[in-house]
Structure 1
Amino acid sequence: MTKDMAATVERPRVSTGEDVGHAGRHRSMPASAWQWLGPLVFGCGMMSLAPLPPAVRGVLLAAFVLIGPGMAVVTLVTLPLPAIIAVVPIVGMAVVAGTTTMLAWLHLWAPTQLVAALLVVVGGLLLRDARSLPLPVLRRPTAVTARHLRARSVVVGGAIRANPALMLLTVAVVTWSLTLSGLRAVPYSQFGLLFVGTGPLLVACTLAVVVAFGIALRQDRLRTAALTLGAAIVVQRLTVTLVTDVPIYGWLYKHLGVIDYVQRTHELPAAPDIYGQWPGFFTAFAWFGDVAGVGSIEVAHVFTPLVHVLIAVEVFAIARLIGHDSRTALTAAMFAELVNWVGQDYFAPQAIAFVMALGIFALLITSRSRPAAGYLSIPLFATLVPLHQLTPYWVCGVAIVLGVTKRLRPRLLPIPFMALLLAYLVPRIPIIAPYGILSGFNPLANANSNVEFDGTFGKVFTSVTCRSLSAGVILLAAVCAVVWWRRGKPSLIAAVLAFSSFALLFGQSYGGEAIFRVYLYAVPGCAILIAPLVVKAVTMQGPRRLLNQSVFTGAVTLGCVATAAGLQGYYGLWSLVTQYRSQVTMGNELMASETAPVRIFSLYPVGLPTRASSDYVRFAQRDKDFDQTILGVAPSLKQDYLSAGQFVQLTRAAASFAGNTYVVVDRQAVRALEYYGISGPNAVADFVDRMGRSPYWTLHERDDVTTIFAFNRAGLQ
């Protein structure tokens, strides 16, 4: 995003300089660029139905969904360019999530027909809009000769040499690409990925990107700064995709099973499966997989970097709408990327809901000058409600505060938000009540995480690092909010975004994850509050050159420290959260071959996925907790965990159970027990030895990562 493209929040004009009377004309980009983009996106949608490789069709369909419907909708309203940037991708998400949810509810699953309908509507609106634009000028292409190529290479090379930020960025990205091979199959470290293999080089490359961003800001090279932001996303997030065979995080695979179930049965999982009650994410990606022919596990593997690109776009747009210039907005987007260590960016409803929430905020901010934006937010919010359990309540709370403080129009806009929430929640109270609607009104208790063990020094180090970074970001944002308020600069909206999520702690712990959601929700607002301070420090131009350089160096150094802390938080659990393709295959085969009822015990909730296919529904309908940890059965067992006495208790429980019982011992669980200090140094080895020697247990399957024991009823005779 260049400074020229995001120059004003007032009504933009087309490049011809003439006023355009059409209500949808709202662009400050050249009219010809808009004309070419429409047919290109429409063509992507058409080609996604062609007999092409699934990966290609997936890319084409994603481009159509993220741009096409949004482009069509913004032709109907007049919006400033930053609002358009924010709203275009989330409209496509909302349209797909909303329509596929309705189709699933109505038992009408028609993926290809839905694509055709979208193409008709999008194509019609874009064609209607294009008729009011001047015809694009077609220029005869210039012949390209070897001399032209040599001259162009000289110009490009000179531009790079004259741009130290771009030179440093190039070195960082090239070095990063060389480190990837050293990040595969790394040994276990209690400190995570950054301390093994080429992990230290990954840190160095990321810090070099941060320094390059600081230099670009100081020299007011906004294109280079934007390129640096993209590089930060690549280095920090794409790394995971490139050094793993399958997505990380064992809990991600529960979402794959729901999607597979929708694709196979064209139905939603029935109660008590909580995912069937908030199905927007699952129906959307079931539809996506059916149309593109790409597996959900492949989509999940490349999902995270795209989410971070969308988050950066939304944060940039919100900062521009609040009134900041492009340099400050880019800084806010970069800061939000660097300090977001939470790891809630994986293939899950949370990630999509978070992006949609930011887009809705952009519309709410715009509504103060363009009330139509506020009305547009209502259908988008309606699709967000069945997408995620928590995020809509945060959005509604922000809308209420903005309404009370007269920062949106119409001021009664939160009323339909609340009505939608209540209308959706009340019929589902009997289903969600067993999970806990409220977990108490003690915010300190609700802020506790779902991990209560002290563990190794590496665990303590990572925990302290994350908490220190989070506290530092929140406190600095609070100070900035007060300073900007006292100086009469825009800060209220950013402060609401930054601190409103803490209200969630007064009613819900969200299974011990509320504190992570609170920080995730706070990051964009905090970044927007802190960004002006960063820009002032980096671009300081006082009469004392040494002071200017010292402030610049100090600001960049603090940015590097925050970045390193964010990296540690993101990669600190690497050995525990990485998954293996053999585990996915083994888990799917086990579930396909079994009949209900069954019990599958693990030593810790990581490793072998048991819900990665639709087969899990057969067992969950009989017993929603059919797969759980031994600790989940009786938390008191963490005292002297996996002892001989507990082995006897487990054997007795398996003998009294009507179905088959399995015990899974995998590499991640062994490392987790050591990492969190749950069991003694030889407890797992002794436990496995008892299993192997006991007549009541037999070896069901084993590879170099996972071992599965099955209860042997013949041993009782």
Structure 2
Amino acid sequence: MTLPSITTLSGTDQQAPSDATGASASRSGLRLGPNSAVVLIAALLAVVVPLLIWWNVTVPGRALIVCLFVLMVPGTPAAILLTTRARLQFSLAPALSLSSYIALTMLTMTVGLWWPRTVVTILAVVGLALTGPALDASRTVVARRRNRALSQANDRGISIRGRTLGRLQFRLCAMLTLAACLGLWLRSTAVVDLDSVSTAGLISALNWQYFAALAGIVIVAVIALRRPRLDVIVLAASAVCLIAVITLYVGIADWSAPLSTGYVHVGFIDAIANAGHSLTGIDARFSWPGFFATAASLTTVAGMTDATGFLIPFPLVAGTLLIAPVFTVANAITTSVRLSWLAVFIFIAGNWVQQDYFSPQAVAFYFYLTVIAVVMDTARRSTIPRAHGRGWPRFASPTVRTPSRAGSDSASATIAMESALLLVGAAMVVSHQLTPAALIVSLALLSFLGVTRFRTLWLGVGIVFAAWFAFGATDWWLGHLTDLFNSFGDASGSLQSGVGSRVRGDPEYQRMQQFRILWSAALCLLAAIGWLRLRHTRLAPATAALIAGTVSLVVGQSYGGEVVLRIFLYALPFLAACAAVTIGGLARRPGTMATIGVTVLMSALMISGTAARGVNTSFERTPGDARAAADFVLAKAPTGSTVRPLLTEGTLRARRITELRGPTQSACRRTAFECLLAQHPDYIVLTSTRESFEHLINGAIPDYFGHVETQLLTSGMYRVTWRSPNATVLERTSPRLTLAPEGGR
């Protein structure tokens, strides 16, 4: 049985091509288009990776090869069969591959099987089965596009060869410039002293090499953005370089993950890989184990000892995956390719919330944005019936109207796409708690407005969400159901925990937190102006609904004080698209002064994004010696030992999460020294980053941990077993003592 080609799915080109078109197609069949090349690479991975893992072959770069497999198989051929639109293919291919991996891993694990190699093999077989139809579809599309380009060039009297030569020259110069800027940036990471970061955050420690590299990349992006004919490769490369420069700086400089929570996730993954199933009674995040289980399977088949190797490069991978869906959303809203690329750069600058670290929410947000991008792109290409009548009938008419199929897509293509999006949504549901709620609300609003043909997609994702919450996340809701209902509807409490409680502590630190708020408010203001200019377009109501839908999450729960940050992140792609409309006029103006103006504006955006992202660097970074101190404790402490602080230093949970524990948490109004003795932990880990947190947020005195250490050593109950510039480890040497009750002597 042969799978349908892209022409069958899309419902186009049902008749035989003309002689000229057929001859061109046969000639182009001898050459590989980009899609065909990518499909063949995916097929090669589908053959090689199962052989590597079943024969346990150790080759250089095995982990990288397996990671490419996870991002390309079987999503690459599937995406090409689902749509001819390149922007959707770039968005869908990794999403379908990842979601398939997550879904199959969770399915096998739920029935009590832990078969990482079998999961990979099944995905490889599916990818190979789709390869032939995908190659046929790719050749057809290549022939059609080349004929169209030849026709347009002949009509305009343009030489394709001459135009291509000029573009290649510009591309070569741009790539060399970007490479030089990255080299300068790497030099900056080598000479920066992150221990000198002040209360103003990372911006206080950056050197001239960083700003020069950032400016060079911005100049390349601006020149590419203002060329009469946009060079997508240069624009994409510039975006990737900006993501690397902004998100990887602290990680490369410390050669350690900038957020220690990533090490906690490494510990979760290690525990699942060892147990072969999810754990209960340990942490609420195990109730949504899709990301952790898939990463555990990945590390197993990749031959990695643990997932630590993913921590540093992950923000770059996550940011790169977002480029295509952000561009697609912006293009649906603005209908301009140039403004869409500008929106991508605004998104990069505005994404300061650091939810792109190695975490379930990073993958879930990518899934969320991919689904929205497909829905919005489909809506833009559909014919949406006008609302008729007056009063209530006119208001209610959008809820019952159904747009036409996008372009010339067939019914089978529409059903196949909706099924693929449901798979992505299901993978998101089992991986994260909050993001599926944002997706369900957004899809429901789009369905209510009658702008999407996928009218029941929100219901499908909602059913999966309800089923998993009821039967898969019982370990969480059995202990938190009361808190969930009590916090529901408390918008003021969510705002206070998400905004008000963060602006406290050191005066300069408070000013930087206020800068974050003002920077976000400025983006919202630019977006509001842009939306007013777009208010008469077809998708303006849908854009407003998507922003409002994310804001409505504030009435749910505070989500540990982070719901406001997540709301801003979920709304940022739509805000960036509208903001691009506001400043897009400057980008389109001819002349040198306009180029300088755009360069200055984009440089200011990127510097502001760097400053906002790095406000908490002094206590969120993970110095290399602090990580080494944690490894020392993890290797030395006997099973059952109590360690403080186990919960606040993520590196201490990178392994042995079921063997080591923190002291029982209880309110303590004594001095820090007395509280430590009351908990009598076996090991005490004092780090400079935690001390910085106590100083900036809680107003602790200078050398706060130094005073605590002196008291501990003077008591004779502890001795130092590790000391480095950023970490000290103390081990208890005497039997545990019980202090008198508070208030007693």
TM-score (norm 2): 0.79
Q: Is the partner of 1:267 in helix, strand or coil?
A: coil
Structure 2 gaps of 5+ residues are: 1-9, 23-27, 144-164, 380-404, 407-413, 739-745
Deviates more, 1:425-434 or 1:457-466: 425-434
Q: Is the partner of 1:707 in helix, strand or coil?
A: strand
Q: CA deviation at 1:596?
A: 6.1
Distance change (3 Å), C-alpha of 1:453 and 1:534: closer
Q: CA deviation at 1:181?
A: 1.6
What does residue 209 of structure 1 align with? Answer: 217
Report Cα offsets for 1:203-247 as digits up to 9, x if no partner: 342234234322322223522333322221232234344323221
Q: CA deviation at 1:558?
A: 3.4
Distance change (3 Å), C-alpha of 1:76 and 1:157: closer
1:431 and 2:476 aligned: yes
Distance change (3 Å), C-alpha of 1:17 and 1:502: farther
Q: CA deviation at 1:98?
A: 1.1
8 A contact 1:341–1:567 mirrored in 2:
yes
What does residue 362 of structure 1 align with? Answer: 373
What does residue 398 of structure 2 align with? Answer: none
> Aligned AA for 1:34?
N
What does residue 382 of structure 2 align with? Answer: none
How far apart, in 2, do the equivalents of 1:29 and 1:460 lie? 63
How far apart, in 2, do the equivalents of 1:98 and 1:34 lie? 26
Corresponding residue to 2:88 among 59, 66, 83: 83
What does residue 563 of structure 1 align with? Answer: 606
8 A contact 1:217–1:535 mirrored in 2:
no
What does residue 496 of structure 2 align with? Answer: 448
Q: Is the partner of 1:444 in helix, strand or coil?
A: helix
Deviates more, 1:81-90 or 1:179-188: 179-188
How far apart, in 1, do the equivalents of 2:171 and 2:309 lie? 39
Q: Is the partner of 2:642 in helix, strand or coil?
A: strand
8 A contact 1:701–1:707 mirrored in 2:
yes
Structure 1 gaps of 5+ residues are: 1-9, 22-26, 138-154, 621-625, 638-642, 655-659
Report Cα offsets for 1:180-204 as digits up to 9, x if no partner: 32136653422233322x5343134
How far apart, in 1, do the equivalents of 2:519 and 2:576 lie? 13
What does residue 251 of structure 1 align with? Answer: 261
What does residue 334 of structure 1 align with? Answer: 345
Matches within 5 A, 1:338-349: 338-349=349-360
Report Cα offsets for 1:33-73 as digits up to 9, x if no partner: 33332222221243334366666122222222222311232
1:648 and 2:707 aligned: no
> Aligned AA for 1:710?
E
How far apart, in 1, do the equivalents of 2:340 and 2:737 lie? 69
Distance change (3 Å), C-alpha of 1:216 and 1:675: same
Deviates more, 1:28-37 or 1:428-437: 28-37
Distance change (3 Å), C-alpha of 1:702 and 1:536: same
Report Cα offsets for 1:467-525 as digits up to 9, x if no partner: 11111112221222122114x36433333333421111112111011111111111111
What does residue 268 of structure 1 align with? Answer: 278
Q: Is the partner of 1:262 in helix, strand or coil?
A: helix
Q: Is the partner of 1:448 in helix, strand or coil?
A: helix
What does residue 609 of structure 1 align with? Answer: 651
Corresponding residue to 1:233 among 243, 253, 266: 243
8 A contact 1:83–1:321 mirrored in 2:
no
How far apart, in 1, do the equivalents of 2:138 and 2:609 lie? 46
Distance change (3 Å), C-alpha of 1:477 and 1:54: farther
8 A contact 1:583–1:607 mirrored in 2:
no
8 A contact 2:251–2:312 mirrored in 1:
yes
What does residue 664 of structure 1 align with? Answer: 685
How far apart, in 1, do the equivalents of 2:372 and 2:276 lie? 33
Distance change (3 Å), C-alpha of 1:651 and 1:566: same
* Count of aligned pairs between the two proteins: 654
Matches within 5 A, 1:65-76: 65-74=70-79, 76=81
Corresponding residue to 2:184 among 175, 180, 183: 175
Q: Is the partner of 1:222 in helix, strand or coil?
A: coil
Corresponding residue to 1:466 among 499, 509, 516: 516
Corresponding residue to 2:131 among 117, 126, 130: 126
Report Cα offsets for 1:127-169 as digits up to 9, x if no partner: 24435776999xxxxxxxxxxxxxxxxx899935997x77865
1:590 and 2:633 aligned: yes
Distance change (3 Å), C-alpha of 1:231 and 1:375: same
How far apart, in 2, do the equivalents of 1:327 and 1:673 lie? 46
How far apart, in 2, do the equivalents of 1:107 and 1:60 lie? 28
8 A contact 2:334–2:577 mirrored in 1:
no
8 A contact 1:651–1:696 mirrored in 2:
no
What does residue 228 of structure 2 align with? Answer: 220
Deviates more, 1:514-523 or 1:216-225: 216-225
Distance change (3 Å), C-alpha of 1:119 and 1:344: same
Q: CA deviation at 1:445?
A: 2.3
RMSD: 3.5
Q: CA deviation at 1:454?
A: 2.5
How far apart, in 1, do the equivalents of 2:503 and 2:135 lie? 61
Report Cα offsets for 1:511-540 as digits up to 9, x if no partner: 011111111111111111122333322112
How far apart, in 2, do the equivalents of 1:218 and 1:75 lie? 30
Q: Is the partner of 1:709 in helix, strand or coil?
A: strand
> Aligned AA for 1:405?
L
8 A contact 2:81–2:137 mirrored in 1:
no
> Aligned AA for 1:175?
L
1:389 and 2:389 aligned: no
> Aligned AA for 2:504?
D
1:516 and 2:516 aligned: no
Q: CA deviation at 1:648?
A: 2.9
8 A contact 2:38–2:76 mirrored in 1:
no
8 A contact 2:42–2:76 mirrored in 1:
no
What does residue 47 of structure 2 align with? Answer: 46
Report Cα offsets for 1:596-624 as digits up to 9, x if no partner: 6543223x9654622101x212456xxxx
1:376 and 2:406 aligned: no
> Aligned AA for 1:513?
E
How far apart, in 2, do the equivalents of 1:562 and 1:220 lie? 24
What does residue 116 of structure 1 align with? Answer: 121
8 A contact 2:262–2:359 mirrored in 1:
yes
Q: CA deviation at 1:646?
A: 4.4
8 A contact 1:68–1:122 mirrored in 2:
yes
Q: Is the partner of 2:685 in helix, strand or coil?
A: strand
What's the % identity of the aligned pairs? Answer: 20
Report Cα offsets for 1:551-603 as digits up to 9, x if no partner: 6544543333222111012223223222244444543453455456543223x
8 A contact 1:307–1:352 mirrored in 2:
yes
> Aligned AA for 1:237?
T
Q: CA deviation at 1:315?
A: 0.7
Corresponding residue to 2:451 among 407, 416, 423: 407
TM-score (norm 1): 0.82
What does residue 324 of structure 2 align with? Answer: 313
How far apart, in 2, do the equivalents of 1:440 and 1:608 lie? 29
> Aligned AA for 1:708?
V
Q: CA deviation at 1:307?
A: 0.6
What does residue 142 of structure 1 align with? Answer: none
Distance change (3 Å), C-alpha of 1:213 and 1:387: same
8 A contact 1:647–1:687 mirrored in 2:
yes
Deviates more, 1:329-338 or 1:187-196: 187-196
